[in-house]
Structure 1
């Protein structure tokens, strides 16, 4: 990607300011090198030597880069505030150990660095600096090698002012990691845990998970009710480091955390400031949780509930009126919903701009068209294969 070399000696990406903003890139001196012609480690080292004033560097997808490049960045760019190493497939824990030298780092993206296990990262964030870097955003999404042990050692060392944490598709993480997050990172505004399939009700509730006899195998939707049947805990309530500790949350993604049920969701999804929520691909989610979320999260602007096959028109009749600010709604593959849900949503959610009811067999093309007429402000309705047709209405 071509770059400009202004008179002040800094490097700026030629991306328009609006695009940089959408991608989370800063307006201050920075460089984006995510292009097909990836630089070598030697080129990165030369760049760092020539431009020590860089505060933002994006090396996403530079497949030739490995640990040596990160070492060069750490030594040469002491004032770096934002660093993206996304999709560096050769980066290992050894490279992460060099990140401790970046004492001003505010944003770190290590998503899709599949060899990173987190062991050295936990030690490095504070090994050189007098205090941990003032990280406000950390992404370890799709780092499939991450385990609880390394994340548990990492979290207490993070700046407690961390705002954004993305652990999506870190499939081995369990309730222990979630409870550590709720203990130490209580100022989070964005928490993404999509596809963390080992997370369960007890983790969200902040409870220690009881040991279960091998012979007793409850079904997923009965799991919490069964474990709660002990006289010592007849009705589990949130306590200890539960999800309720994160009252600053504005975005929460629990997509495909398939062990979660109404038993925890009805009790912990109480976030007045929450604007974006995804509970898609939760097979045990029912109307009971939907209504509880409506009462507990009245400020939602984006809601994803795709593939929640137990949701019904009755649930939406009760829930819709709680979401007057809703703008984006995904109900694709919710097999029980009919045009009654569209009616409920259309009457209550007047700010809607995008609706997805694709693969909803109970919703007809005619009802989609009526909905569009009822809410002319809606600019896109995804309705693929609704009523046997493939239809997308876009204004």
Structure 2
């Protein structure tokens, strides 16, 4: 170092004074200059009392410690850099840098296809190494945004396999869908709910970049039309399931493309699409390569012509749902049954007044493989139609009647295993069994909210259906102990005993019927529901505790039980070994003492309902949860 001249700083009356060519003896006073470069010489001319307010720093030194930033690069340069990232982990880390990098990775950088290394046969493949592993993602509500889709598309290892978007409006657009398409070439299933801003452009991106798409669900997408769905049909030849609901811009043209290009199509559901007519349904089914197995047509403007086309060309259809079709009449349903093309139909659901006796008989004749039949709002259906149905459907196993003008249950098929009658206001008891078959292999019986059904009908069903294992009698004021005692006694004669019993809303049922149920079927009963049976007391609960040794779920909501009955239940064999769910909602006689018994004696208890139990306090529930943290309490 050459001669380095230091300046001495002298404080004099709060002023800084620089002396003439005088070296500083104290290095601490000269600390502000020690950070200068070692080869810099300073020579200050003689000055006379100069005030110094800050140390002198050359302007060139301000940029010595400044690091260059990639943000100063243009998008084209940054895309070139980001495209060279090899691996999902590196892309995910880069996407976390800023929103700009995330946007570029999602929209400007294609997911590379790295070369797969040779497999080491000496190493066993782990669960993460399987090629058939599919990434499933679902975004709902406020989380359904384009930015969220960017992050999911870039961060998912190998891309997204199944994606469900339940948006609340305009938060998701074509940009987000394009990012998913760009980074998920192996996308198999896509569901869009209420995506107002997703148009044909975004769906076309999926079609162009996701050729393996197999399932497409569109619900409430007003901006998607025939053009977008046609693009998917032409580019995604593996499409096997298509669901369209509340898409007003979708019409007949896309159904022609789906029927023509999608040879593997197995399920189609079209609901509430006003522009879909007979032409679209005919185009969908009339192609020789059609392999459709499931068809749903609801709330459409189709006519009898579509029903006839379904009956003629639905040769591979196994499940058919026709509901809320105002322009379809009895004639259309009769033609569908007589066309002879539904020989493989196994499940049929009809909702509408056009399901009459004549039409139903034609359907039963034309569908010999029919196993499950569901009728809703069939106001013109009578006993004669049911009798003809039972005669022409030898393989019928399940029958559901809802909101039908059913007069009486007069015929049950020889193979019927499940019967459900819901809200049939005209349902009445049958006094004679002369017209009925001798037996029926019924396993599940449900009668719900049928005011005309009483003890006489229940006694008759008990004599005919002695193999019932699941009994559901809900909101039947005409049911009393007499009918239940006869039914329980008849079901006891066979090896199969009752396993699930639901008597909710049967206000006339008392402890006597429950005691008979426990004595006759206690060893097989697993689930018992007695909600709003206000005449059930501790005596009935004591009978349940003594005999029902395998009880797993019991509902006593609204019953007149108290702590004594709950204590008996908790100390029973079922309480110690199998009891898992107990509902005591609205039981005014239940207090904190019941929680002590349940907590100490029921080790398998995992669910407890204590709503509207006024005698139970917050402290009781807190103590119970502290003692049994495994049980979920609804209070």
TM-score by length of 2: 0.47
Q: CA deviation at 1:90?
A: 3.7
1:55 to 266, 274, 294: 266
Q: Which has the higher contact order (CA 8 A, sep 6+)?
A: 1
Equivalent residue number for residue 174 of structure 1:
382
Partner of 2:585: 384
Are residues 187 and 221 of structure 1, via their aligned partners in 2, closer, same or farther at CA, if it must alter by over 3 Å?
Answer: closer
* Per-residue deviation, 1:99: 0.8
| CA–CA separation in structure 1 for the residues paired with 2:281 and 2:526 | 41
Q: 1:194 to 1:127 in 2, by over 3 A?
A: closer
Instruction: Please show how residues 283-322 of structure 1 align to structure 2 within 5 Å.
Output: 283-297=477-491, 298-320=496-518, 321-322=520-521
> What is the distance in 2 between the residues matched to 1:350 and 1:60?
48
CA distance in 1, matches of 2:216, 2:571: 42
Counterparts of 2:274 and 2:544 in 1: how far apart (Å)? 46
Q: Deviations over 1:324-365 (max 9, x none)?
A: 44444333222322233333334444444433333x342347
Q: CA deviation at 1:51?
A: 0.3
The equivalent of 1:153 in structure 2 is 362
| Deviations, residues 222-266 of structure 1 (Å, cap 9, x unaligned) | 9755xxxxxxxxxx22435x4x5642x333333233323322321
CA drift at 1:306 = 2.3
Structure 1 gaps, min length 5: 16-27, 207-219, 226-235
Between the aligned partners of 1:29 and 1:357, the Cα distance in structure 2 is 49
SS in 1 for 2:586: strand
Compared CA separation, residues 349 and 45, structure 1 to 2 (3 A) = farther
Matches within 5 A, 1:192-211: 192-200=400-408, 203-204=410-411
Q: How do 1:216-295 residues align onto structure 2 when only pairs under 5 Å count? A: 236-240=432-436, 242=437, 246-247=440-441, 249-269=442-462, 270-295=464-489
Question: Using the alignment, how far apart are the partners of 2:408 and 2:477 within structure 1?
Answer: 13
Q: Give the SS at the match of 2:391.
A: helix
Q: Are the counterparts in 1 of residues 408 and 429 from structure 2 also a CA contact under 8 Å? A: no
TM-score, normalization by structure 1: 0.71
Matched residue SS, 1:254 = strand
Corresponding position of 1:356: 555
Cα deviation code 1:95-153 (max 9, x no counterpart): 22221111122111234556654532232235153xx422221122x435533343233
Q: Verify: 1:96 aligned to 2:292, yes or no.
A: no
CA RMSD of aligned residues (A): 4.0
Q: Report 1:120-139 matches (<5 A).
A: 120-127=332-339, 129=341, 132-139=342-349
1:30 aligns with 2:236: no
Change (3 A) 1:204 1:296: farther
Secondary structure of 1:279's partner? strand
State which of 95, 105, 122 in structure 1 corresponds to 2:317: 105
Bigger-Rg structure (1/2) = 2
1:200, 1:259 within 8 Å by CA — same for their partners in 2?
A: no
Shift of 1:52: 2.4
The farther-off stretch of 330-339 and 345-354 is: 345-354
- Name the residue aligned to 1:340: 539
Distance between the aligned counterparts of 2:300 and 2:567, measured in 1?
A: 47
Separation (CA, whole Å) in 2 of partners of 1:63 and 1:370 = 60
Change (3 A) 1:305 1:104: same
CA–CA separation in structure 2 for the residues paired with 1:74 and 1:198: 34
Q: Figure out how many residues of one structure are paired with residues of the other and give that number.
A: 349
Note if contact 1:192-1:252 (Cα within 8 Å) is conserved in structure 2: no
Please state how far the C-alpha of 1:283 moved relative to its aligned partner.
Answer: 2.5
In the alignment, is residue 46 of structure 1 matched against residue 257 of structure 2? yes
Moved more, 271-280 or 176-185: 271-280
Query: Do the aligned partners of 1:192 and 1:253 also contact (CA within 8 Å) in 2?
Result: no
Maintained 8 Å contact 2:324/2:352: yes
Q: How far is 1:394 from its partner? A: 4.8
Residue 394 to residue 168, structure 1, CA distance change in 2 (3 Å): farther
* 8 Å Cα contact 1:70-1:96 kept in structure 2: no
Once the 2 structures are TM-superposed, how far is the Cα of residue 62 of structure 1 from its aligned partner? 5.4
What SS class does the counterpart of residue 253 from structure 1 fall into? strand
- Cα pair distance change 1:155/1:257, threshold 3 Å: farther
Structure 1 residues 345 and 148, CA gap change in structure 2 (3 angstroms): farther
Aligned equivalents of 1:93 and 1:296: distance in 2?
A: 47
Which moved further from structure 2: 312-321 or 271-280? 271-280
Partner Cα separation in structure 1 for residue 452 and residue 336 of structure 2: 34
d(CA) in 2 for partners of 1:116, 1:369 = 59
